[in-house]
Structure 1
Amino acid sequence: MTNLFSSFDPSTNFNLSLNWLSTLIGMLIISPMFWLIPSRFNILWMKIIYILHKEFKTLIGFNKTQGSTLIFISLFSLIVFNNFLGLFPYIFTSTSHMVLTLTLALPLWLSFMLFGWINNTIHMFTHLVPQGTPPILMPFMVCIETISNIIRPGTLAVRLSANMIAGHLLMTLLGNTGSTLSLIMINFLIITQILLLILESTVAIIQSYVFAILSTLYSSEVN
């Protein structure tokens, strides 16, 4: 490894960004689920999907279009697969790059905004001024609400990529010190790395859930 950030470099041989193909490795996990139905993995995944469907449906509203939770469940699945695969050695973590996270967040936010402003214009204007705001503060509240609305895709993208980078960098930094430590300290280092790996596994699930749940909240606001 030439430097600390080489594990986040998307380019491989011949200066091609073939590392991005790791984003599609999650597809290989899906197909074995259907070799034997109901397999244990299939039952587990269907339970997860059902729980997520109930969560998202509560936020979106039960009277809305059928299948509206499908896009958010797919989004959760894509992010959680990539976050987990990034924990394996020598597998490129695509979710630690703003290129992927912004590609997921920006079209979602743009489509919600276009849908909201075209179909529910009055409803969108009422969101700019929270209920019970004094008249003198209304211009400031409009500015604040507009700015917070504009930065939403950025905060979604940065939150996911920063959390992925932080954990991976910490594990890399600790791992690089292993060759200079004594035998007792190496044992402590291994225990620390295992605990960090467990933490990163939970972060992988939590961050994908947060991304999907916030996208659902933003979509529920425009209806």
Structure 2
Amino acid sequence: MMTNLFSSFDPLSSISNLPLNWISTMLGLMFIPYLFWAMPSRASLMWSSLMMTLHKEFKILLGPTNLGGTLIFNSLFSLIMFNNFLGLMPYIFTSTSHLAMTLSLALPLWLTSMIFGWINHTKHMFAHLVPAGTPGPLTPLMVLIETVSNVIRPGTLAIRLAANMIAGHLLLTLLGNTGSNLSKTLLSFLLLSQILLLILESAVAIIQSYVFAALTTLYTSEVN
């Protein structure tokens, strides 16, 4: 029995104080090699089509000189989406619902792009702090606002992903805990609502992984 509402998100399974639930982060790698050696199937063709679509979109954001960068963001999308979907399965830990996971993805990517931009494109980075057409008296205020909005970017990326994963799982948990106290008629409505919520969570798993990868790509493209 859960001691509190958020205990379903805690890494409780451990051996010698090693949290085994975090191993679920790497379970997605078990599904990837299948696409490289198996006969072409509908699933592999659909996945290849999705990756090519993302590659074309990220290529537009990054520009023609940074085509290799699309591989990083395609991989980022794949990792987050696999973990989001694995979290919908029973007894599998949802790693993307923790800031330790989401911030570990957002912070290094943002920090490396900032360091690269300030070292190699210093004037360009300073120009980003003052939007075009800003009146002279408002320049110090705009620099402060743009600096704060730039600094909180990795936090907003991490919190957005974690909050969306937690919200759906909490709703499923709250509704599921009421099942033992309902009549058969209400239980059928509960099962239907749980199925609809699970479909919604599957869509959220894809959308949030795309939003995370697309925003990270957009932030990186501003450095060039």
Q: TM-score range by the shorter chain?
A: over 0.9
The structure 1 segments of at least 4 consecutive aligned residues displaced by more than 3 Å after TM superposition are none
The structural deviation recorded for 1:44 is 1.3
The structural deviation recorded for 1:42 is 1.8
Are 1:101 and 2:86 an aligned pair? no
1:77 matched residue in structure 2: 78
Structure 1: where are the runs of 5+ without partners?
Answer: none
Choose from 52, 71, 74 the match for 1:50.
Answer: 52
Partners of 2:13 and 2:143 in 1: CA distance:
47
2:168 matched residue in structure 1: 167
The structural deviation recorded for 1:38 is 2.0
Q: Deviations over 1:109-151 (max 9, x none)?
A: 0001000000000000000000111111111000000000000
State, as a whole percentage, how many aligned pairs show the same letter.
68
Give the 5 Å matches for 1:129-144.
Answer: 129-144=130-145
Partners of 1:72 and 1:38 in 2: CA distance:
24
Whether the 8 Å CA contact 2:21–2:93 is kept in 1: the answer is yes
Partners of 1:92 and 1:211 in 2: CA distance:
20
CA 1:65–1:59 in 2, change beyond 3 Å: closer, same or farther? closer
Are 1:22 and 2:24 an aligned pair? yes
Whether the 8 Å CA contact 2:2–2:8 is kept in 1: the answer is no
CA 1:49–1:140 in 2, change beyond 3 Å: closer, same or farther? same
TM-score, length-scaled by structure 2 = 0.96
1:68 partner letter: G
Partners of 1:200 and 1:125 in 2: CA distance:
41
Partners of 2:22 and 2:170 in 1: CA distance:
19
Partners of 1:42 and 1:152 in 2: CA distance:
34
Whether the 8 Å CA contact 2:83–2:96 is kept in 1: the answer is yes
1:215 matched residue in structure 2: 216
Give the 5 Å matches for 1:158-197.
Answer: 158-197=159-198
Q: Deviations over 1:140-187 (max 9, x none)?
A: 000000000000000000000000000000000000000001111111
Are 1:145 and 2:146 an aligned pair? yes
Are 1:86 and 2:92 an aligned pair? no
Choose from 31, 37, 41 the match for 2:43.
Answer: 41
1:127 partner letter: H
Are 1:124 and 2:125 an aligned pair? yes
Q: Deviations over 1:52-104 (max 9, x none)?
A: 00010011112x13322000000000000000000011100000000000000
